[in-house]
Chains A and B, each alone.
Chain A
Amino acid sequence: MRPEPRLIEVRKNVLKQNDVVARELRNRFRAAGVFVVSLVSSPGSGKTAFLEKTLTLLGRNYRVAALVGDLATENDAARLARSEAPVKQITTGTLCHLEAAMVQSALEGWNLQELDFLFVENVGNLVCPSSYDLGEDLRLILISVTEGEDKPLKYPTIFHSADVAIVTKVDLAAAVEFDWQAAYNNIQAVRPGMIVLQVSSKSGAGMEEYLGFLVAHLARLRQTAAV
């Protein structure tokens, strides 16, 4: 007679491997004193234009670099190279998100101590990136005014994995009758207390406030490290 099936306890996080690498990365970033910002959004929300503007403006006074995830092309890296910041493309193939190990291998040969800010642009996707910690200090979620105000309600999980929301393409807000208050309320409904900033990469509106926000974070990080 076959014995009865037996239950053995395991209790292991499925994403443990990713979390371990993310923790290693975070320690490395801390030791180098670099502030790491990742960007998530749906495809077409203006991540690359926003990042290009960020690298160009921030690059005037700070040492900046970026890693960009893309399914198949190297177009984004080519666009970002116009900012003259060091940029490396991570081509994910069919994978719909970045994982910590991809960031780790993309950083091989980079001296992080020569950087103030490192940006990591995730693959355009509002679902899968939410499960993966990349070791970043700050995760920005971008939503463009052309996407509609209810994105937060449809994708609450990704809003929970992010720290700050950036509403992009605000220069188009009037044309698409974007309801700012409704969008803001929806973000607050799924993620109470979330900081929301508005920018236009095209006109530059809101960029100053956003960059000031990043610089304040870097200063705080360095201050904590110095103590």
Chain B
Amino acid sequence: MHELSIAMSIVEMAEEEAAGRNAQITAVHLKLGALSGVVKEALFSCYELACEGTVLKGSRLVVEEVPVVIFCATCQGERSLGSMQLFCCPKCGAPASQITQGKELEVVALEIQECVPNPV
């Protein structure tokens, strides 16, 4: 269970990005690869916990799951893997050695709500 430390890193990164902006972060967009070693469900509950007591409290975590994509040297093309239990080209069956996608663990964007001063 290393999702809590991952969640805390995400919150920390978002806090750094938010610093200096007069804005509230309403959501964090994350790319999560199937080979990242991070479990989405566990990350969601840890994220909520990690946001407690920070400026991100109440914000959402939006996860874009990235499947494993390989480049097949045999039939020369990028293919999405159908199964994590079989790293073979789904088209020609050749063993897959070059992974081009699926290891992502990346904060891609923040959704922010600009704060407007109250009218006097």
Contacts and interface: CB of A to CB of B under 8 A. Distances in A.
Contacts of A96: 1-2
Contact of B2 (A11, A131, A161, A193): A131
Interface stretch (A13-21, A44-52, A71-79, A207-215): A13-21
Interface in B26-47: 26-27, 29-30, 35-38
Contacts of A12: 13, 106-107
B17 interface: yes
A192 B87 contact: yes
**Which residue among B5, B29, B109, B114 has the maximum number of chain A CB atoms within 10 Å of its CB?**
B5
Contacts of B113: 2-3, 5-6
A203 B36 CA distance: 37
Contacts of A17: 9
B114 A11 contact: no
B10 interface: yes
Contacts of A11: 106-109
Interface residues of B, number: 38
A175 interface: no
Contacts of A14: 6, 9-10, 13, 30, 105-107
A157 interface: yes
A189 B86 contact: yes
B19 interface: no
A10 interface: yes
A56 interface: no
Interface of B: 1-2, 5-6, 9-10, 13-14, 17, 23, 26-27, 29-30, 35-38, 84-88, 95-97, 99, 105-114, 116
27 contacts: A2-B113, A3-B114, A5-B111, A5-B113, A6-B111, A7-B110, A8-B17, A8-B110, A10-B13, A11-B107, A12-B107, A14-B9, A14-B107, A15-B105, A95-B2, A95-B5, A127-B2, A128-B1, A131-B2, A131-B36, A153-B85, A157-B35, A158-B37, A189-B88, A192-B88, A192-B96, A192-B97
